[in-house]
Amino acid sequence: MRKSKFMLSSWLVMAAVMVSGASYAAGAGNAANGKTIFTQGKGAAAPCASCHGENAMGNDAMGAPRLANLGSTYVVKQLNDLANDKRVPEGAGAVMPMFAKELNDQDRRDVSAYVNSLEAAKPELSDLKALKEAGEPVGNPGKGNEIVNFGVTGKVPACQGCHQYNGRGAAPLYPQIAQQKYTYLVNQLKAWRAGTRANDSMGQMRQVAKNLTDEDIANVSAYLSQARLTTSGNSRVPENAKY
């Protein structure tokens, strides 16, 4: 456990330095223009809503992630990485680099500002029962809770060490992963583990994911996909819209 804490502390120190750098500066975004792109598309880029949903809450069947209220700085970085081929998704997400290239720098900031302003009155959570009935392996949320909030001694640090309690996010650097789509979480953790996704800062996620089994990934994803953002002792939801 001591080693895990040391590694986590080192990562956080380096991350705190990097967050002040220009690479994480999202700049000002025009949410009104972002809404137009999100709902209508631009050029060859299809409307974001066609895959991510009208509320930007994601789609398990397509493997499309929730974009709403993740932190605009994070979303800008992902769009820039996609446009610059620093992130090359597989499956249905393989169209994203082409779509991102259709948007200029300001467009990406605008879309990010718009989706970050969205907060669903009622979360659209993954239907784990339906996914399981459809034949998709679904993990044990209880076991996922152990990894997310406590980690595993000598194996992986707790997800909350960076993403905060239940993965509720620590904008601008660490996105909200609580209530993210189950299928997307599974796919990304496996991509981090395989190294096919490598746009993480200092290799943090690759370092963590390489120690996760398929079962661990399913458990973590099951828990996070349903995770509450608040507790009885802390009812404040992070204001990611500021970032």
d(CA 143, CA 157): 14
Successive 10-residue mean pLDDT values, the chain, 243 residues: 43 42 58 98 97 96 95 95 96 96 98 89 90 97 97 96 93 93 98 97 94 98 94 68 66
- Do 53 and 124 touch, CB atoms closer than 8 A? yes
The CATH classification number of 2-8+125-242 equals 1.10.760.10
The CATH classification number of 29-116 equals 1.10.760.10
| Alpha carbon distances (Å) from 91 to 58, 94, 229 | 15, 6, 29
Q: What percent of the chain has pLDDT over 90?
A: 76
pLDDT for the residue numbered 119: 74
Nearest to 179 by CA among 41, 65, 36: 65
pLDDT for the residue numbered 238: 67
pLDDT for the residue numbered 120: 58
Q: Which residues of 204-234 are buried (b: 16+ CB within 10 A; e: fewer)?
A: bbbebbeebeeebbbbbbbbbbbbebeeeee
Report DSSP state, residue 101. H
- Model confidence pLDDT, tens digit, residues 19-60: 433 344 446 899 999 999 999 999 999 999 999 999 999 999
Treating both helix axes as pointing N-terminal to C-terminal, what angle do 31-40 and 105-116 enclose, rounded to 10 degrees? 90
pLDDT for the residue numbered 23: 40
